């Protein structure tokens, strides 16, 4: 049991690190610099994958919170908590990397554009979720309180996006894969998968920690 667990773990670590290094190498050296933005554009290979994977993480929070409401199995609660933590980290990274990219290309660190604002609000929502979890001592109660919250928060995401979009918009729309250099598309996709593996690795680790903490709580 212990042996197979550590095998899975080392497999995920290996995949995540190797894939990430490879994808970063590809992005930095193999794909061409942007015609207008030059090498700054390469931030895209971390910024965009972080954003995508943060959404995946939040979707995992939503699904596992929902299943927890039906099944009441602590597995789903721990998964939701782990995914929320990793999602918050990735969202934070998305915001910071976006700022670093925005300064040389748009001339500002921050702008009240729809997607930026939505991402920031998403960050606040899930930080709230984690704060709430940390303020409830008993783990069963924490799980039962956090699950409805995980569902409700996620429902707000499309509404926030729509409302902020009507409010204002500047962020460049997604480029269609057919209009950019195929190497760039490949680079982006490689990096997206690399960060997906990192996401899985982090969630896996956070899950193990949550499991141990629960065991420790039971033992006390």
Query: Binding residues for another protein, per CB under 8 A?
Result: 69, 121, 124-125, 128-129, 131-132, 135-137, 140-141, 144-145, 147-149, 151-153, 155-156, 159-160, 162-164, 166-167
Tokens 């670590």 belong to 13
Nearer to another protein, 20 or 154 (CB): 154
In angstroms, rounded to a whole number, what is the distance separating the alpha carbons of residues 61 and 130? 11
Select 157 or 186, whichever has its Cβ closest to another protein. Answer: 157
The residue behind tokens 């699950």 is 147
Angle 125-175-33 from CA coordinates, rounded to 5°: 105
Q: What is the DSSP string of 124-183?
A: HHHHHHHHHHHT--SHHHHHHHHHHHHHHHHHHHHHHHHHHHHH---SPPPPPTTTS-HH
CB of 165 to another protein, least distance (A): 10
If you ran DSSP here, which 8-state letter would residue 44 be given?
H
Helix axes 44-71, 74-106, angle to 10 degrees: 160
Considering the complex, what minimum distance in angstroms separates the CB of residue 159 from another protein? 5
Instruction: Give me the least distance between CB of 171 and another protein, in Å please.
Output: 17
Minimum distance from residue 198 beta carbon to another protein (Å): 26
Minimum CB distance to another protein, residue 143 (Å): 8
Does residue 94 contact residue 199 with C-beta atoms inside 8 Å? no
User: Quick check: 50 and 93 in contact, CB under 8 A?
Assistant: yes
SS3 state at 75: helix
Name the minimum Å distance from CB 71 to another protein.
Answer: 12
């Amino acid at each position: 049991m212990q042996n197979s667990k550590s095998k899975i773990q080392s497999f995920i670590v290996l995949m995540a690190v190797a894939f990430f290094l490879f994808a970063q190498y590809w992005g930095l050296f193999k794909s061409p610099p942007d015609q207008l933005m030059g090498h700054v554009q390469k931030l895209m290979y971390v910024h965009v994958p972080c954003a995508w994977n943060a959404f995946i993480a939040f979707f995992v929070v939503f699904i596992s919170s929902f299943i927890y409401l039906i099944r009441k199995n602590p597995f789903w609660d721990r998964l939701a908590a782990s995914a929320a933590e990793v999602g918050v980290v990735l969202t934070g990274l998305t915001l910071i990397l976006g700022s670093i990219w925005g300064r040389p290309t748009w001339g500002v660190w921050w702008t009240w554009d729809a997607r930026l604002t939505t991402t920031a609000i998403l960050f606040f929502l899930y930080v709230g979720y984690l704060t709430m979890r940390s303020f409830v001592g008993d783990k069963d109660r924490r799980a039962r309180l956090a699950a409805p919250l995980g569902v409700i928060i996620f429902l707000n995401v499309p509404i926030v996006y729509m409302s902020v979009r009507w409010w204002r918009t500047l962020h460049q729309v997604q480029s269609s894969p057919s209009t950019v250099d195929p190497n760039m598309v490949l680079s982006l996709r490689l990096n997206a998968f690399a960060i997906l593996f990192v996401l899985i690795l982090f969630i896996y680790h956070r899950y193990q920690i949550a499991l141990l903490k629960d065991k420790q709580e039971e033992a006390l």
